[in-house]
Structure formats: structure tokens, C-alpha cells
Amino acid sequence: MGISVDVVKQFKKIVGDAHVLDSKADRICYSYDATKQSFLPDIVIRPLTTEEVSQVMRVAYGSGIPVYPRGAGSGLTGGAVPLYGGIVLDTVRMNRIIEIDTDNLTATVEPGIVVSEFQKKVEELGLFYPPDPASNEFSTIGGNVAECAGGLRCLKYGVTRDYVLGLEVVLSNGDVIRLGAKTLKSVTGYDMVRLFVGSEGTLGIFTRIDLRLIPLPEKLKTCTAFFDDAMNAARTVTDIIRNRVVPRTCEFMDRRTIECVERYKNVTISEGRAAAFLLIEVDGIDASVEADMQKIVGICSKNGAYKIQVARDDQERELLWSLRKAVSPALYQISPGGKINEDVCVPRSRIPDMLCRVEEISKKHTVPIASFGHAGDGNIHMNVLVDFDKPEELERGEAAIEDIFKATIELGGTLSGEHGIGNTKAKFLRMEQEEEVIELQREIKELFDPKRILNPGKIFDPSKQRVLASLKELKEKLHQ
């Protein structure tokens, strides 16, 4: 892309020399996200205030430079990757909690705050911010809002969008707009907040976020259950809910994932026979939690669980959770060359069918697939374990992914439950959405970002030619 010395000087004047990074080492650090793709930006800009973001965008807009908003770079679909060079706009210096309002149960934060830091602060006040992606120790609230992150407590509490009341947004031309209201109810005009939540950095840059809080539940109870037959585990999930118990968490691991965790932690938890594992957690007041857990244990045994452990205290709870938390590093240990992690979501009752289809797909393409994740939400993560440096293996992995997407749609599901589309899934969008709907979304994007400088190449524009042509067209217009 290349940014002129004059323009870089303007950026340095806005945010200060120290916050415009252009060394090769810095650019490499900001060239990737959790997908392992790497595209070098020309520069990285680290603003501190809304005003600075706005001024940076004015200059970028005037010069037609692509801008990629970035939180912690933990995205799993390439959202923050600077596909066509330009500017990575790093929000991590904007990490203040502006306010926690304990009377109205709301909070206002800057986008760069790490999710777990915010959760801890809120919990010290007896309040609760439920959205809880497994990346909460490093991902940012801004990144969570842009992806509409889900996580481990969605079954009972919903996803990030259910907690966003209002947004301050810097548009591509530098204008600052405020959306929504810091009230529990607001139906004034279109629901613009919902449009921006999950927009993956393609419509505007969030600089302040108003969030809804709820009271912290009094008590938690956690159990794990092991099954010889994965179908029985999957049925258990629907049975629990059919019995009117809604756990806050219902996590699943298949046989391959359990084996990886055992190897990684050097423990034997399954007696070598588990085809599936569930971790189930309920919360609420003392009496209801005990009653719910009793029902859950009964349903697990009725469905053939051969081992059920209920945590008696916090220490035992941590031990049970440590198995689930080990999944990601355990899968990398077994597949150091890489894994393609897809987060398809099907109606909960179709999980057994989905697991059967994945088994068939794994055999058809001779690639190992490890499945785990948020069974209660129907959002199982399918991890195709392939070595990215072996083209033939990668090709088989990608063919398997395409079949997984086809099966998902056939079962009434969706391509992404929580990781978004980014650039990695953009070419599959048409499997789920009609051309007319995609075109309408493109028009919305055009309205907010007429020069297409915000996160180009994401969601709709998988074709490099299309994006390069659009940037070329813009350059020509600027020179006319």
C-alpha cells in the first residue's frame, strides 16, 4: 500500500510519535490474529481518545488508506488481519472503565479493556457481566462487541449483544455518532446498536460502550459426566432443558478431545472408555441450585453416564473446569502444525445428527476432527487437525470444512455461532444467505463507509481483485 511520509507525520501529530509504530518488528506483531494468517500493515496507530480516533480517520479517509480496528487480535476468522496493508488501529490504550452505575445496573467502558478485568471489577460490587468467551483473559470488550462474542454462559444468559445498550462510534470519515440509550428500554428509531454489534469492524470503530449488568448469582454448582456413547451425551443436553432446568453452562468434549486433554495434563479421567464428556454448571439461590443439580445428575445417569462428579467446593470446581480450560492448548499439542477451528451452530436438538455427520466427514476426507464446545447452545466447535505446511493435508481439511458447512445448513444451522465471518468464511456466505440479502448488507456498508476503507476484505469481499479494484478506483478518484 505505502503511506507517504507527510501523512505519517500527520498521524504522529495526532497521537504522538511513540504511538505510531512503523518498524518491521512492530508491523509483524500486528500482522496476524489467532487464525495464523499474516499480512503486514504499513503502520500501527495506538490512539488514546475518541478525538484522536476521529482525527486519524479523517486523515485516512482523505487519503483513502484502509484501516483495521484491532483489540487483542484473538479473533478466529481473520477480523483484525490487515489484508491489504494500511493502518492497524490498536485500541488497547483505550482501556478505562468510565463508570459502573450500581443504581441502574449499567456500565460504560472504553473498547480496549480486557473482558476478565471488567468482569472482576463488576463482581467486586456484587454485579455480573455474563458474556464469557473462553478468551476472556485476553480479548477486549471492543473485540467482543464487534464479533458479538458468545462463550461459556450463553445458554442461560445470552450473548454479548444482549448486554450492549449503547455505543459511541467513529465512522470512516471521522464523524462521531452515539447510538442507543443507557436505559433498559428504548425503541426510538431503528435498532442501530444491534446493527453495529457483530459488524466486525466494517461499519465503524467503537470508542465507548454502554453495558447492562445484572446481580451476581449467589451460588454455583458444577458437575462433569462421562458417557460411553456420544449420542447419549447429546440427548442428555436436550433432556435437561426439556425438564425445565436451564444451566448457565453445558460444555461438551468428544472422545478425541478428551484423549488430547488427558495427554496434555498427564491424567486419566475417562478410564479409557469415554466417548463424550459434559461439564454442566447451574447458578442461582441455594435451594434452587441444589434441586437443579439433583435433577441433572438423575438425567445424566438415566442417559447412561458411567461417571458423574459433582464439585463439593471451589477447589473441586476449579479442578473440573481445568479439564475444559485445557482444550485449546491440548489440541495445539497434538496438532502443532495447526487446526482449523469452525464454530457452526445448529438447533440444540440436531446436535446428535451433526456429530454423526462430522464422523462421516472425518472418514471421507481422512482428517481427524476434534469436536468440543457449547453444547447447550448447539454451538459445537469442530477442529480439523491439519498441518498448515502440508498443502495436500490442508486441502483435505478445507474440503472437510466445506462439507461441515453444508451439513450445518441442511440441519437448519448457521455458519458461525460466535466467531464471525471475517475473511476466512467470507467465501461461504452464500451457502446461508441469499444474494439479495448480501447485497442489502453491502449497501448498508457503503452508506457508512462509502470509500470502503474500514476493514476491507471482510464478510462480503472475499475476492482480492474486488477489494484491490475498489482501492484503485478510490486512488484514481482522489487524484482527479
Ligand X SMILES: Cc1cc2nc3c(=O)[nH]c(=O)nc-3n(C[C@H](O)[C@H](O)[C@H](O)COP(=O)(O)OP(=O)(O)OC[C@H]3O[C@@H](n4cnc5c(N)ncnc54)[C@H](O)[C@@H]3O)c2cc1C
Q: Which residues bind ligand X (CB under 6 A)?
A: 33-34, 68-76, 79-80, 91, 111, 133-135, 139-140, 142-144, 146-147, 149-151, 200-201, 205-206, 328, 418-419, 455
164, 171, 167, 161: which is closest to 204 by C-alpha?
171
Q: Of the two residues 106 and 139, which places its CB atom closer to ligand X in the complex? A: 139
Per-residue exposure over 446-471, b if at least 16 CB sit within 10 Å of its own CB, e if not: eebbebbbbbbbbbbbbeeeebeebb
User: Which H or E run contains 194?
Assistant: helix 192-196
Residue with cell 456484587: 126
Minimum Å gap between C-beta 158 and ligand X is 12
* C-alpha cell read off for 448: 457508512
> What are the φ/ψ torsions at residue 279 (nearest 5 degrees)?
-115, 120
Q: How far is the CB of 68 from ligand X (least distance, A)?
A: 6
170-184 residues labelled b (16+ CB within 10 A) or e (exposed): bbbbbebeebbebee
| Shortest reach from residue 160's CB to ligand X, in Å | 8
Q: Which is nearer to ligand X, 235 or 452 (CB)?
A: 452
Q: How far apart are CA 383 and CA 395, in angstroms?
A: 15
Nearest-approach distance from CB 329 to ligand X, in angstroms:
8
Which of residues 139 and 236 has its CB atom nearest to ligand X in the complex?
Answer: 139
Nearest approach, Cβ of 349 to ligand X (angstroms)?
22
> Please, what is the Cα angle at 198 between 30 and 112, to 5 degrees?
45
- Contacts with 319 (C-beta within 8 Å, 6 or more apart), sequence order: 311
The cell for 361 is 466427514
Complex with ligand X: residue 200 or 292, whichever CB lies closer = 200
Smallest distance from ligand X to CB 457, Å: 11
- Closest Cα partner for 257 from 143, 353, 333? 333
Cβ atoms 83, 184 nearer than 8 A: no
Taking the complex as a whole, how short is the minimal distance between the CB of residue 269 and ligand X, in angstroms? 21
State the cell numbers at 400: 472437510
- Work out how close the CB of 104 gets to ligand X at its nearest, in angstroms, rounded to a whole number: 24
Complex with ligand X: residue 292 or 422, whichever CB lies closer: 422
Complex with ligand X: residue 37 or 288, whichever CB lies closer: 37
**Cα–Cα distance between 214 and 324 in angstroms, integer?**
26
Span between the terminal Cα atoms of the chain, in Å: 19
Which of residues 10 and 202 has its CB atom nearest to ligand X in the complex? Answer: 202
To the nearest whole angstrom, how small is the minimum distance from the Cβ of residue 282 to ligand X? 19
Q: Which is nearer to ligand X, 284 or 422 (CB)?
A: 422
Residue closer to ligand X by CB (options 27, 70) is 70
